[in-house]
Amino acid sequence: MARSADLDFVRLFTDGACSGNPGPGGWAYILQHPASGKVIDGSGAESATTNNRMELTAAIEGLAALKKPCRVELVTDSEYVGKGLRDWSPKWKANGWRRKEGKSYKPVVNVDLWQRLDEVASRHEVTVTIVLGHNGHPENEACDRMAVAAYKALVADSR
C-alpha cells in the first residue's frame, strides 16, 4: 500500500526547443505519478521566441497542470531553468527581480516567465534534477520530440 507521501509525489520532465534563437519554438512536459502509474503530457509552440523562453514555459505549463499541491521532482536538461529556480530566483526576487551586474542591478531577462514560474512553483515542494540533454534519457528525449513536433506543426500551419 502506498504511503500518503508517495501519493503526493510526481515527476515532471520538461524540454524546450527552438529553430533559430530567436525563431519558432516549442515546449513540452511529461508528468508521471509513480504511485498510480498515471502519465499526462502537454506541448505547445510560439512563432517567435528563444530556447530559454521555451524551457521556462515547459516548466511553467507542467507545474500549472497539477491540480493540487505536490512534491515535484522537476527533471530538466536546462541549467538555466534548473539553476535559476533552485539558486538564482530567490536572490532575484529579493532584489525586485533584478540581478547584480558589476556594481549595479539589471533587470532579469525573461522576468515575465521567471515570475510566473515562481508563482506556480510556490504551490508545490519542488526539487530540481538537471540531466544531460540528447543523451538517451527516455523522458527528456520524448519531451524534445514533442517540443520539436509542436513548433514544426506551427510553422507548417502558418504557410
Annotated active-site positions, please? 15-16, 55, 77, 134, 144
* Beta pairing, strands 9-18 & 71-76: parallel
Listed residue (92, 70, 72) closest to 14, CA to CA: 72
Distances (CA, A) of 103 to 52, 96, 100, 109: 26, 16, 7, 18
Query: b/e map of 43-53 (b: 16 or more CB within 10 Å)?
Result: bbbbeebbbbb
CA gap 140, 13 in Å, rounded? 6
